A and B are shown apart, each in its own frame.
Chain A
Amino acid sequence: MYDLIVIGGGPAGLAAACAAWEAGLHRVLIVERDRELGGILNQCIHNGFGLHYFKEELTGPEYAGRFVNMLRDTGVEVRLDTMVLEVGADRRVHMVGKATGYRVEEARSVLLAMGCRERTRGAISIPGTRPAGIFTAGAAQRYVNMEGWLPGERVVILGSGDIGLIMARRMTLEGAKVLACVEVMPYSGGLNRNIVQCLHDYDIPLYLSHTVTEIRGKNRVEQVVVSKVDEQRRPIPGSEMIFDCDTLLLSVGLIPENELTRQAGIAIDPRTSGAVVYENMETSLPGVFASGNVAHVHDLVDFVTAESQRAGRAAARYVLEGAGPEESALEVVSGDCVTYTVPQHIRPGRVEQGCELFFRVNRVCGPSRIAVTSGGRQLAAFRRDCLAPGEMEHITLPRALLDKADGAITIAVEEVKAG
């Protein structure tokens, strides 16, 4: 019987396992499907990681390496090349691996840290032919950075998510010609710094409010047609541009990988596509926690780390102190301009000093006020100079404030008119 089984050895799983160990759990197992720990960080060879957590700028492998080293100083067990097939409601974890065969392990607590996957061409149904040469940006990143193969020579990128922007620069440095980055929204989905250092530095044009409306080429991509879109994101006839290219990279969003979660009967929030979680990242199934990109897609690994440490500590507490008494929970409602919040439920009795609350807005906002209301009364307000859907926001709600809540808490954002 394990105290904790962590499913996934990426940044979330590593941080959670380390934190749970430090908090006093001594039978902890990480199950990782890849051949090494570190998850997607191993292929993110660019820098920009760790500014919050380590106060220095690291590359993905360096960031992962630090946690792998930390883990080495613990007694956490690791099973590599092992895939979890099922998590039972009784916290029996079914797994299969080349070295260890099929195993069923029992655990007092389980932490879901499976990360996310990329949206594909199918998900956005781009019309046209179906030739080779259409890659998700992450798949291309794996080929270029780990396998040492360049997927193509002339590239168009659809979507301005960070991985797409990073790959624009990466493929350019390997001698490919990146012709354009095309974004259907009127603003970029990636970080501003990546627009500058990945596109501007290499004179790669960014077409906002445009999308790929047709893929051409019988066996390999030969052309893509790019059209301007109107405010409803419908292509505008007559605005077509044709790019001769052999490759289309897609950076059109990430989807938390929650097949195991669903199978276990855990409640899923359709807005995050992740499990519905309480303030300590516990899911609707007692003793099962979720953190990192499997709970909601993050922009910065530093926040994944922080969230996962909280989840790891919470799992430890669950095991060491028991489930605790049943407590009433406040629902957190996404108000105006807010796409989702994590957590979705807060049990004020479980909050020590403050509860961190993460959310995204559904459009770009200038100077704004984040209002926290409950029962028609405002509990708190926070100011921000600007907010964007591509950048996760977070606020901390003090315990005292939660105690004043009257039923559900609503988080809303309103722009403050200048002057």
Chain B
Amino acid sequence: MYDVLIIGCGITGAATAFELSKYRLRVGILERENDVADGTTKANSAILHAGYDPLPGSLMARLNVRGVALARQLCTALDVPYSPCGSLVLGFTPADREALAELYRRGNVNGVPGLALLTGDEARALEPSLSPAVTAALHAPSAAICSPWEYCLALAETAVRNGAELHLETAVTGLYPTETGWRVETSRGELESRWVVNAAGLDAQVVHEMAAPRTFTLHPSRGQYFLLDKSEGDRVGRVIFQCPNEHGKGVLVTPTVHGNLLVGPNAEPVEGDDTATTAAGLDFVRGTALRSVPSVDFRTVIRSFAGVRAVADTGDFVIEEAAPRFLDLAGICSPGLSAAPAVGEYAAELMGRAGLPLERKASFQASRRRVRFKELPEGEKARLAAERPDYGRIICRCETVTEGEILDALRAPIPPRSVDGVKRRVGAGLGRCQGGFCGPRVVELLCRELGCSPGEIVQDRAGSWLLARETKGGKTDV
């Protein structure tokens, strides 16, 4: 019997598990895919928004501002790549100037620190690559960027280290109320829990309707992005937004914590989790971004991708006890990444108020470290490579990732089960060659550590097989 079962291990589920793992509770996380952070969490703008955008009084506003404040400490404690780079919202027209003034007012009501309205020239003094057409800007120094999947992994891993149980490749197929809570039917059998937390992302409506009558509708919204090579990474030093419009926060240009430049997203309604990119969508993103920063060199694109976020028709996050001991954390669209730790905190608070005993564990450990060879000073590199020779072997040339780091990941509390799982943990294959060189060696290491054949290795999700069969007429009898 679990005290709490969390459905979904994206950033929201992971943050909730992290929060609950501070207490004397038996916590389980059910994740349908073979890895954490595999939905909306892995494909978004990677931005921790300052919090001037949501309407004052909304859950979004409160949890966003609280979330980014928590994120600053959490990312340090959990060794998550994080950079407090600040953001600018650009204005080009008199109407934009009005909109910026409104955001400034909203931000102040929401408690966003340090907001300032700038002239075009002041903005260009901060960011020389901005278009000469920029006439005004809103500067938000508390905005930050992070690595969303590493953030999610770090939260989930810390939860697991503190006793939470993660069940991967476990899809929830039914929820049945019992006298003490819920019977949870999954693709891997049945589980019992006092509480169920619905953090199922795009499927949160489906999960909700297993437990309660419909109270909200999720509209999947797709955003397409370009990731550019590190040669473009210094194009801007801050997150560059345009004024928000009916399509969301608009196309932004931002550095990433990995040193690349990220450009996107557009916003378009789609069915389900359709993360395909389209020529029209990418063209729109390209054209719109150039309006902010005309010098972005799109010839250095190394990847284009799309993510889908679940937008609730209520206009806010849906966080409520929809049925007895069934807590929805639904419609967590932007600023969901920013709000995540505050959502987790709030979820625990709501369950606590409804009777879940929140008794702190003395043993809770909220620190985590991993080796990032390329970021170490020369002496430290030398010491590590001498101590553990596998830190001396570079597997990914583009991102300078060592065999030692990959082995560390493979022996961590939540080991990767796929080539992309390795990529998300250590960055191998994230760079300009996109895994062309290191792919075969990552496969070799996965095989060695998982004890399987290359034919069983997947690129990412289950079913994303990488290699068809052995040459020379198929399977050998070795």
Contact = CB atoms under 8 A, between A and B. Distances in A.
Q: Please tell me whether chains A and B touch each other in their complex, using a CB distance cut-off of 8 A.
A: yes
Interface of A: 33, 81, 83, 85, 94, 96-102, 104, 117-118, 120-123, 125, 127-133, 136, 138-139, 142-144, 146-153, 174-176, 213-214, 216, 218-220, 235, 246-247, 259, 262
Contacts of A128: 276-277
Contacts of A102: 378, 381-382, 385-386, 392
B125 interface: no
B436 interface: yes
B302 A130 contact: no
Contacts of B403: 98
Interface stretch (B70-78, B163-171, B465-473): B465-473
B454 interface: yes
B364 interface: no
A149 B304 CA distance: 28
A121 B434 contact: yes
Contact of B394 (A83, A149, A175): A83
Contact of A123 (B231, B301, B390): B301
Nearest to A216: B276
Contacts of B305: 130
Q: Which 10 A-B pairs have the closest CB atoms?
A: A132-B459, A122-B303, A219-B463, A102-B382, A132-B464, A83-B394, A219-B464, A98-B393, A101-B385, A149-B467
A94 to B, nearest CB: 7
Contacts of A133: 459, 466
Nearest to B390: A98
B470 A131 contact: no
Contacts of A33: 394, 397
A122 B227 contact: yes
Nearest to B418: A132
B437 to A, nearest CB: 7
B385 A96 contact: yes
Given A148-B472, A153-B469, 19 more contacts: A33-B394, A101-B385, A102-B386, A117-B436, A125-B277, A127-B278, A130-B275, A131-B464, A132-B464, A133-B459, A136-B436, A139-B440, A142-B440, A147-B454, A151-B466, A152-B468, A174-B471, A219-B463, A259-B398
B119 interface: no
Contacts of A150: 467-471
Interface string B447-478: 00000001100111111111111111100000
A139 B436 contact: yes
Contacts, number: 145
A85 B400 contact: yes
B444 to A, nearest CB: 8
A201 to B, nearest CB: 19
B301 A125 contact: yes
B81 interface: no
B432 interface: yes
Interface in B208-245: 226-227, 231
Contacts of A118: 433, 436
Nearest to A122: B303
Interface residues of B, number: 57
Determine the main DSSP class of B at the interface with A: mixed
Contacts of B472: 148, 174
Interface in B390-447: 390, 392-394, 397-398, 400, 403, 432-437, 439-440, 443
Contacts of A100: 392
In the complex, which of the residues B302, B382, B467 has the most CB atoms of chain A within 10 Å of its own CB atom?
B467
Contacts of A247: 468
Contacts of A98: 389-390, 392-393, 403
Contacts of A104: 378
B442 to A, nearest CB: 12
Contacts of A148: 470-472
9 contacts: A83-B394, A117-B432, A120-B302, A122-B304, A125-B226, A127-B276, A147-B440, A149-B469, A262-B231
Given A96-B394, A100-B392, A125 B304 contact: yes
A133 to B, nearest CB: 8
A97 B392 contact: yes
Contacts of B468: 149-153, 176, 246-247
Interface of B: 226-227, 231, 275-279, 281-282, 301-305, 374, 378, 381-382, 385-386, 389-390, 392-394, 397-398, 400, 403, 432-437, 439-440, 443, 454-455, 458-473
B457 to A, nearest CB: 10
A143 B440 contact: yes
A120 B394 contact: no
Contacts of B394: 33, 83, 85, 96
Contact of B471 (A99, A149, A152, A214): A149
Contact of A101 (B389, B434, B437, B467): B389
B466 A132 contact: yes
A218 B461 CA distance: 9
Contacts of B467: 143, 149-151
B455 A127 contact: no
B203 to A, nearest CB: 15
B325 to A, nearest CB: 34
B378 A123 contact: no
A375 to B, nearest CB: 34
A96 B471 contact: no
A149 B467 CA distance: 6
A289 to B, nearest CB: 21
Contacts of B397: 33, 83
A104 B385 CA distance: 13
A182 to B, nearest CB: 16
In the complex, which of the residues B374, B433, B466, B471 has the most CB atoms of chain A within 10 Å of its own CB atom?
B471
Contacts of B433: 117-118, 120
B23 to A, nearest CB: 37
Contacts of B469: 149-150, 153
A219 B432 CA distance: 22
Contact of A218 (B385, B455, B463): B463
Contact of A122 (B275, B301, B400, B455): B301
Nearest to B419: A132
A262 B385 CA distance: 25
B256 to A, nearest CB: 14
Given A100-B392, A117-B437, A139-B436, A149 B465 contact: no
B436 A219 contact: no
Contact of A99 (B378, B389, B435, B455): B389
A125 B120 CA distance: 33
A158 to B, nearest CB: 15
Contacts of B432: 117, 120
